[in-house]
Every structure is written in C-alpha cells, then in structure tokens.
Structure 1
Amino acid sequence: MYGRCGGISEARSVFDSIAPKDQFSWNLMLGVYARQGHLDEARSVFDAMPERDIASWNCLISALSRSGRLEECKELFTSMPDRNAKSLFFTMPDKDLVAWNAMLSGYAHDGDLEELDHLFSLMPLWNTVSWTALLVAYAQRGYVEKANALFHEMPSWDLVCNNAMLNSYGENGHLEKAILFFQGMKQRDLSSWNSMLSAYAQEGLMIQAGNLLESMPEQDLLSCNLMLSAHNRARQLAEAKKIFDKMPYQNLYSWNNILCAYAQHEDVSRTKNLFDAMPSRDLTSWNIMLSIFCATFELEKTKALFDSMPELNVVSETSMLTAYASFGHLEEAKSLFDGIRDKDRIAWNAMLSAFAQSGYLESARNLFDEMPDRDNVSWNALLSAYAQNGDLETAKEILYAMPEREPASWNSMLCAYVRKGHLEDSRKIFDAMPEQDVVSWTALVALYSHKEQKFADAFEQFGRIGLEGGSPDLDCFTCILNGSSHAGDPELGRSYFCSMSADFGLQPNKLHHGCMIDLLARSGHLGAAQELISTMPFLPDAHDWTCFMTACKKHRDLDAAAGAAQLALKNEARDAGPYVLLANIFRGDSKPTVESWISTVPAEFAAGDPSAQHDSTSYSCLAG
C-alpha cells in the first residue's frame, strides 16, 4: 500500500520489520523502488535477494530498459540462468528493440549460434546493434566468412560494426583483408588502431607493428600492452624493455609481461629484482618466478619459493611436479600430483611424461589408462616411453592405436628404429609417413651415415631434403659430415661444411668443426686438420685431439702427434690424456725417439702431483 501511494520510506520501514522475508516481500520492495525510478536502490535490493524468480528479473530489467541503462540491462540478461532468461523474455508483454538486443547479446555471449540465428529471425526489426551482436558472435568463433556476409547484408554501418569487422579479420589471421579494410575506413578511433596493431603483432610483424604504433594519433595502455606482449612472444627482451620503460604507467598485465620476458631469457637475477620491485603481484607473477626457478635453480630453492607462495593453482603445482621429476624425485612428484584437486590435462601429461622419461613403463601405462581424457601429448609421451626403452613392438602398437598421428608421433617411432640400426623397418616407417619434416630426414641420413655400404644413400637422402621443399638444420649437417668422414671423402665434406653458411645461413658450431677435424685427419690431410684446430673459433677438446693424434698414428706422422700433445697440454694443462695417447702412438718405436719427448712432460706429472688428472702408469708408458 505504501509503495503504491509513493511512500518509499514507509514501505522500506515496513519491509525492514518483516522477519523472515519471503520471496513476495522481496519482490514487493524491489517493485516499489523500480516504479519510482530509484534504480540504484532497486539494484541494491535485487543483489541482496537470497533467491530470485522470473518476476524479480523482469521487474529490474524492465525498469533499467525504460531508463536507458542498456549496459546494465544487457549484463543482467547475460548473467541470468538460461531457463529464466528464455522464460522471462518470451513472457514479457512489451518487448522493445532494447529488450530484443539484450536477449540477442546474451545468446551471443553463450555461443549458441543456432539459437542466436533463430532469435535474430524472430525479431520484428533490427538495428546496427542487432547486426553487430550477430557478426561478433560468428567472428569470435572463427566464422569469418559468415561474419563478412552479415556485414555486407547490413543496411548501414557505424564505427562500432566497422571495428567489429576489422577485429574479426585481425583475430582470425586474415591480415591482408584487415589492412585493406583499415585503409578503407573513413572514420577511425583508438579501437580501430589497436585492432590493426593487434593484427600485425599477432602475425609477428614487429617492424610494421612498431611503425603503426608510432603513427597512431593517440595511444593508451592497451596499445602499449599489445606491443609489449608481442615483443615478449617474439622473445625480444630489449625491445620489450624499451616499450615498458616508455609507458606513462603500467598495470599488472604490463609488469607480468616484462617479468615473463626476462624469465624466458633465464636472467634469474634481473627477473628476481623485477619481481621484488613490482608494486603488486598476482598468481601469474608468482607462477612466472616459479617457472624460472624450476629451469635454473636447484630443487631446494625452487621448493622454498613454492612453499612461500600466498596461493597455488594447478599451474603452480604442475611446475613443482615437473621440477621434482627433472631431479629424479618421482615419489615427491607423484605425491604432489595426487594432491592436486582440479587436475587439468597439462598436469596429467606432466606426470605421464615424468614416468615415461624415467623409464617407468608400467607406471606410465597405468597412469595413461586412468586419464579422464587424452590428447596427442599424452599419446606421444607413452609412445616415446616405449620407443626410447627399446620396446619397439609395443611402441608400434601404440602408434597405430593413436586417434591422430602427427609428425612427432611418426618421428618417435622412426628414431627408435634408427637407434636400433634397423634399416628396413626405419625405411618402412619413413615411407609410411603422410609427410616428412627435417627431423624425419635427419634420422634417415643419420642411419645411412653409420652403415658402411650406405654412404651414397645418406648423400642422396640429404640432397632430397631440398627437392622436397625442406631445409636441413644443424643436426642434419652433423649427420652428413659424419657420413662424409666415415666415407673418407674430404672434398664432399668440405662442400657440405661451406654450404651451411653460404646456402642455408647456418653458423657451424663446435660439433661441426669437430666433424671436419675428424674428416680431414682421417683422410690424411693432417696439415689442414691442424690448421682448422688452430683457427676455429672454439677451443679444441679431448675428442678433437684424440681424432687428430689417432690419425697421426695411422699415417705415421710422429712429429705432428708430439706437437699436438704439447698443444693439448697448454689447453688442458692438468690432463695427462694426450701424453698417454702419445705413448701408445710411440709404443714399439725406438727408445731414443721416445726419450726425446720425455722432457716435454710437465713437472707435476713426473713429481706425482695428486691433483693432476693422470693414473700411475702415465709416465712409465712414456718412458717405455
């Protein structure tokens, strides 16, 4: 009664005195505020209601709609339980365009495109809001062509729908269309520029993104964060730092991005300093720090950080699980895994990989069978476990049981056969692969390179990589250089070595130089091998000296062997290995020849320095 007569204060007093309040009382008070236009008070009552029925929702949404508070109206529609939203909407006596659009937006948010289309078809009329809601719903789910068709059906366009279409192209990887659309826009706002910036950044075109950022009439926090995130994904720490330092202010998203950039470069000290300097942190910040500790610190420090975290989630627990596993603490890893409440697929796969990589095949298989759902990572982990442990029959059964076989799956099986030296089975797997990548080709080249009668096949397979549209990588060149060495073909080896940088832009590493030293020395080009040892941008190691001195023995060049031993001692001053090898080379030669080199032995080896790395026979071998 008080409410109908406009006495809001009196109505409220009566309402407050009711104990307990039933649904009717709550709806009555809500209606009093709604009818009188006191919408903030109405919303307060609505939020305080212990439960709501259709009348509650209808009352507030209608009041908000009449007063033009459309965003709140839309938000309420979106948050309603589906059954209530549908019941309310279709029982509303007066459904204006605002109500229709609010309902449309609710369906768009839920992603039910079939229901969305049906509702759109029932609408008595549409405006740009209606069309844009439909367009965005399709675009967000990757149906760009459908979104484009809707856009061209629209009777008119405004900046909001233009931005929606631009964003649709950009987010779904249609960069060229996004560029043309952006260039054709007669009007742009900051949202337009940010959408275009995001499109460039998503494709990794950092130069174009940077140029666009500089040409923007204005920038906001989103603009800077887009560039910061893009540099982070591209692992461009210096550029990310420049963006971060130039920002007028940073939010938590900005701080987490720059923290992640440092963590990816495993710069522990600076990452920790940055973490300590953060004005605020969230769980993401802590998880980033935990990830770098897992990768670079000993287990105790990682566990200490984990224990100090104010909260944990499945990401934190999975990181710690992986750390335990990498240090061989499988019992602790399994105990932590068992305690994770909401295990996601990543946690299951982490535990499965831990068992697989440690060779616990039965535990891996049991866990695999327990998994609520599996993906290719799960199947590949199990396949790899059996393949790496030599159970090729079981691995092959798993391969052909997989619902989807990707290149990594085939490569695991192929590499397992290659490690066993099974030429025929390796070739069958290779030929059965739907497509081969550089890993597949490298495995085959490696196999042929170690088969004495198959060197020509190794060279042929290497040549086919380019013909098939591939490009050999550093590992592949290591294999073909080894094959050249075993085949005793220094000229071919030289051509492959030079081709790395000249034809493929690859910088030969220490391993490739070692292969060339072995190749040249083995084929009798001792001078060239010694020159390469002296001029390469790496310190020669024990393997290089062993290859060279063994070749000296083979080709009876004792002077070169002795000179190499002296050089080796300069680099590895506390290692008697070169002299032991030299003694073996001289064994059987005349005593004066051997004795002429005894004077080159450092004093600590003769005096029995306990810190020198040699055994008790080293000097006596040299002395004959």
Structure 2
Amino acid sequence: MDMMQHARMRKSQPGLQRSRAYHVYFGHTRTKAHKLEEQEMDINLQEYCVPLLANAARAIHAYISKSQHAASDNYRYLSNLLVQMYGRCGSVESARGVFNEIVNKNSYSWVLMISALAANGHFEETKRSLNAMPQQNLFAWNTILVAYAQSDHLEEAESVFFEMPLQNIISWTAMLEAYAGSGHFLNARNLFHSMPERDLVSLTVIISLLAPEWNLVSWNALLTAYIHKKRLEDAKCFFDSSPEKNMVTWTAMLVAYSENDHLELAKNIFDGMPERSTVSWTAMVSAYAQAWYMDDAKFLFVEMPEHNSVSWNVLLTSFARNGLLGECRRVFDSSPQHWQDTALWNAMMTTYAQNGHSEECMGLFKVMEVEGVRPNETSFTCALLGCSHLGDLESGLEFFVSMTGDHDLRPNKHHFSCMIDILARSGHLENARELAWSMPFVPEAMDWNCLLLASKSHSDMKTGSKAARHALEAGSKSSTPYVMLSTTMRMRR
C-alpha cells in the first residue's frame, strides 16, 4: 500500500486520527460549558442538540422567550446556550437569529456563533464573523482551524494557521492532522519536528503516519508515552488493545505499576507474563519493597533465575528505604558484583550517610579505593556528606582535593555545597561565605541557610544576618532567615 492509498483509506474511515483534533478540541469545549443556574427550569438543553430534535429545540426557545427569564439578568447566558444548541442541531439560521438579538454580546457569544457556523460548513461567514469579533481570542481561531482541517480544506487551514497571532497545542495538532489526513506526509513530519510541545494526540498522529501498518515498535512507543505522562488507565487500555505484545510491552506496563505503587496491578501483570526477564523480576521486587512487603521482596529476589547489578541495587535501596541497615550491609556483602560495581558502593554509602552513620560512610569510601573500585561524583558526594555531618574539615578538604588531583573529576554544585556546609559547621564562617561567593555556581538558598544555621550555633550574629539576607534574596522558604533578622534588629536597639 503506497502512502497516498494509505491517506485515502484513513480519510474514508471515520473515527481515525483525522477526527482526534476535533474531539479533543470540542470535547474540551463541552467540559467548560456553564451549568444552568435557573434550577426551576429543570431543562437540559444539551438533550436537544440532535438534528432530529430541532423542532423541540425551537419549542424550548419559545418557552424561554415567553417566560420570566427573558427579562432576567441571565438572559444573555441562556441566549448563548440557545446559539450553542441550534449550532449542534445544524440550524444555523436559528442560531444566527438568537445571536443577533443578544444586546451585550460577550466573547463566549461570539465563539459559540463561530462554532455553529464552522461546524456546519459556513466557512466564509465563519471567517467574516472572526474578523468582526471585537476581541479575537485563541479559542475562536482554533474553532475555524479545526473546522477547515476536518472538512479537507487544507489550503484554508494553512492560511488560518499561519495567520494566527498565537498557536497552542490544539492549533498545532489540528494542522498536523490536516496534513496527515490529506497525504502530505512530508509537511506533517516537518510540522511535528517544529512543534514547541507535543501531546499524546500529536504523537499518535505521527506514529500512525510513519508506520502505516502499525507494528509492535509503534504500539510500544505510544504505550511508553502514556506511561511517561502517568496516564496509567489509558496505558492499560492501550496495552489490552495491542494486537501483539512482546517482553518490552509487558515489562513497560509492569514497571509503570511498580513505580506508581500499584502492587496488585503489578502482580497481575507479572503473573500473566508469558516470559520474564531480569528487568521484570527486578520491577516486581521493587513493587513489593515500596509497599513495605520486605519478606515478599526478599523471597522473590531469591527466586530470580539470575541477578545483575540493578537487581542487587534495588534490593539494597529497598532495605535502606525501610531503615534496615543491617539487611543492607548483608545484601552489599553478599553481592558478587559489588567488587566492581561503583553504583552498589554508592548505594551503601548513601544509606550510611542518610541514616547518620557518617564514620561508616567515610570508612567504606576508603575501603572502596583500596579495593580498586573507581569512585565517581556520587561517591564523593556521599563522602562529603559524611564529613559534613561530623564537621570533619580535614577529611572534607582531603576528599575535595582528591577529586581533581587523584581522580580527574570536576566538582559539581553538590560538592561545593557540601564544602560550604563543612566549613560553616567547623566554625570557619568567613571561609564558607567566601567559598559561596567564589564558587563557579550561583549560591542557592540552601547554601546560605547552612551558613545561617552555623552562624547561630557559633553565636556570630553579624555573619548570620548577612546570610539571612542572602537566603531571602535567593528565595528561601524557611522561616529561619526572618527569625535571624528579627533577632539582629532587636539586639541593635
């Protein structure tokens, strides 16, 4: 099937990609429809928005015109709904008549009239109405663009799109589908790459465009997109409707449930997998651990056919998250990979540092070097955190200098922040302040708060007040800078 045949097939089948922009746009419009405030009317105008009930809609119109509501402050609101009702019934003349009778039209009135004209194919009048609109808005422009795109008026759609003073994701997606539905695949691809942002609709269009005969890669790509946006219900529907599934499909759904704390759903996927990989086993171990079922996590880990660095790391960090330091160390010592896996050493050091075992953290770093495992930036962050908690300036300086001198690593912002904290905690407040100003990164509120807290501990109100001002300027959300400044002002009185 060539590309043009594919385009014609898409155009002949309702409900495919070309209609999505319309449904996304006008579905969004429906969700914003105002609720009728006149409770006593007890009439749902939306029920009459079907061509076969146009006469019934006119009866409702007549009732409203003769009732007390015709003279009420809500009459414009009711008239707007009548315009919308007639437009959806296909009665443009009636919609136009109601619209013309509205004395103080608002932007909603204009948009509804433009929608009625566009939805019923009155394109020239639609454009004239837009030009006559006192305050044009993006909603009105998109209405015309979507209408042109849906009716195969590609040149007119292009004209409107490029004439628009501003476009949003609806505008871009409507134009993308217009190109795709008309067989202009090169234009569609170029437009897709030019989009400032993309959503699932645009991604669906381009995937179906580039893969006319949808293959498993296309299905998996779109499934991953749903998961990335955390639209798990949509992802599951897409997963269920996939005509074919492979290990990637099953594992993607399993990892999605595992990472979002849906243990039972993850277990259902895991139990239903025709085959399992180390990744799927590891994801299930993580799901149990995040739900605090550590015995189940450990049992499943033991049952795994094979383990890799990631699976050992997941088990270790799972015990750490539950505060089980002894189990963490046993996992670390049992792992055959830890002698060459920097990530596992870092995980163990992080566990020690975050749980206040700073000496063990620093000691493990030194063992790591002795064993010939090359530390990375994260390793040094862990070591410096340990020094910070202990206020060990000498070891902190040794680690910091060793980064560049022995390991050819460039200190990043985290390393400098740790050194500021180490200097401040050890009483070298002026040096900490100088480092904050001289480091090759912009000091953050966190850096100044560290200096501020250390200033309080060492009763240095002068340095503390300066740090407080800098912290506030950097956007600190802590109350400590305000308290320090208040205290300083009281002492000066």
Q: TM-score range by the shorter chain?
A: 0.5 to 0.7
Deviations 1:503-523 (A, max 9, x none): 112211111111111111111
Residue 407 of structure 2: aligned partner: 504
Aligned pairs (5 A) from 1:360-509: 360-436=262-338, 437-452=341-356, 454-509=357-412
Give aligned-pair identity as a percent.
37
Q: What is the rounded CA distance, in whole Å, between the counterparts of 1:331 and 1:293 in structure 2? A: 29
Deviation for aligned residue 1:585:
2.4
Larger Rg: 1
Higher deviation after alignment, 476-485 or 454-463: 454-463
Residue 318 of structure 1: aligned partner: 220
Question: What are the ranges of 5 or more consecutive residues in structure 1 without an aligned counterpart?
Answer: 1-271, 596-624
Residue 111 of structure 2: aligned partner: none
Deviation for aligned residue 1:343:
1.0
Paired residues, number: 307
Letter aligned with residue 282 of structure 2: N
> CA contact under 8 A between 2:455 and 2:464: conserved in structure 1?
yes
Q: What is the rounded CA distance, in whole Å, between the counterparts of 2:199 and 2:242 in structure 1? A: 23
Q: What is the rounded CA distance, in whole Å, between the counterparts of 1:511 and 1:298 in structure 2? A: 34
Residue 159 of structure 2: aligned partner: none
Residue 250 of structure 1: aligned partner: none
The secondary structure found in structure 1 opposite 2:406 is helix
Match of 1:302 among 191, 197, 203: 203
Aligned pairs (5 A) from 1:123-138: none
Q: What is the rounded CA distance, in whole Å, between the counterparts of 2:295 and 2:424 in structure 1? A: 41
For the structure 1 residues 337 and 473, does the alpha-carbon distance in structure 2 shift closer, same or farther, using more than 3 Å as the test? same
Deviation for aligned residue 1:591:
2.5
Deviation for aligned residue 1:589:
6.1
Deviation for aligned residue 1:299:
4.0
Residue 344 of structure 1: aligned partner: 246
Q: What is the rounded CA distance, in whole Å, between the counterparts of 1:435 and 1:414 in structure 2? A: 13
The secondary structure found in structure 2 opposite 1:373 is coil
Q: What is the rounded CA distance, in whole Å, between the counterparts of 1:558 and 1:584 in structure 2? A: 12
Which structure has more relative contact order (CA 8 Å, sep 6+)? It is 2
Match of 1:591 among 483, 490, 493: 490
> CA contact under 8 A between 1:521 and 1:529: conserved in structure 2?
yes
Deviation for aligned residue 1:530:
0.5
Q: What is the rounded CA distance, in whole Å, between the counterparts of 2:476 and 2:302 in structure 1? A: 53
Deviations 1:19-73 (A, max 9, x none): xxxxxxxxxxxxxxxxxxxxxxxxxxxxxxxxxxxxxxxxxxxxxxxxxxxxxxx
Q: What is the rounded CA distance, in whole Å, between the counterparts of 1:362 and 1:293 in structure 2? A: 41
> CA contact under 8 A between 1:387 and 1:416: conserved in structure 2?
yes
2:453 maps to 1:550? yes
For the structure 1 residues 558 and 503, does the alpha-carbon distance in structure 2 shift closer, same or farther, using more than 3 Å as the test? same
The secondary structure found in structure 2 opposite 1:434 is coil
Q: What is the rounded CA distance, in whole Å, between the counterparts of 1:300 and 1:346 in structure 2? A: 22
Deviations 1:351-395 (A, max 9, x none): 111111111111111111111111111111111222233321111
Deviations 1:563-601 (A, max 9, x none): 22333455x3xx4747x43332255667352x6xxxxxx
For the structure 1 residues 577 and 367, does the alpha-carbon distance in structure 2 shift closer, same or farther, using more than 3 Å as the test? closer
Deviations 1:417-464 (A, max 9, x none): 122221211111112112201121112212222444x43322221111
Deviation for aligned residue 1:543:
1.0
Q: What is the rounded CA distance, in whole Å, between the counterparts of 2:426 and 2:199 in structure 1? A: 46
Q: What is the rounded CA distance, in whole Å, between the counterparts of 2:427 and 2:198 in structure 1? A: 47
Q: What is the rounded CA distance, in whole Å, between the counterparts of 1:569 and 1:443 in structure 2? A: 34
Q: What is the rounded CA distance, in whole Å, between the counterparts of 2:485 and 2:379 in structure 1? A: 37
> CA contact under 8 A between 1:293 and 1:301: conserved in structure 2?
no
Question: What are the ranges of 5 or more consecutive residues in structure 2 without an aligned counterpart?
Answer: 1-175
> CA contact under 8 A between 1:558 and 1:586: conserved in structure 2?
no
For the structure 1 residues 549 and 328, does the alpha-carbon distance in structure 2 shift closer, same or farther, using more than 3 Å as the test? same
> CA contact under 8 A between 2:359 and 2:386: conserved in structure 1?
no
Letter aligned with residue 478 of structure 1: T
Task: Normalising by structure 2, report the TM-score.
Answer: 0.57
2:439 maps to 1:526? no
Q: What is the rounded CA distance, in whole Å, between the counterparts of 2:199 and 2:384 in structure 1? A: 37
Residue 332 of structure 1: aligned partner: 234
> CA contact under 8 A between 2:257 and 2:263: conserved in structure 1?
yes
Deviation for aligned residue 1:318:
0.9
The secondary structure found in structure 2 opposite 1:504 is coil
For the structure 1 residues 592 and 403, does the alpha-carbon distance in structure 2 shift closer, same or farther, using more than 3 Å as the test? closer
> CA contact under 8 A between 1:321 and 1:336: conserved in structure 2?
yes
Task: Normalising by structure 1, report the TM-score.
Answer: 0.46
For the structure 1 residues 295 and 568, does the alpha-carbon distance in structure 2 shift closer, same or farther, using more than 3 Å as the test? same
Residue 537 of structure 1: aligned partner: 440
For the structure 1 residues 451 and 372, does the alpha-carbon distance in structure 2 shift closer, same or farther, using more than 3 Å as the test? closer
For the structure 1 residues 316 and 450, does the alpha-carbon distance in structure 2 shift closer, same or farther, using more than 3 Å as the test? same
Letter aligned with residue 541 of structure 1: E
Deviation for aligned residue 1:542:
1.5
For the structure 1 residues 295 and 510, does the alpha-carbon distance in structure 2 shift closer, same or farther, using more than 3 Å as the test? farther
Letter aligned with residue 387 of structure 1: A
Deviation for aligned residue 1:549:
0.7
> CA contact under 8 A between 2:421 and 2:451: conserved in structure 1?
yes
For the structure 1 residues 450 and 559, does the alpha-carbon distance in structure 2 shift closer, same or farther, using more than 3 Å as the test? same
> CA contact under 8 A between 1:294 and 1:302: conserved in structure 2?
no
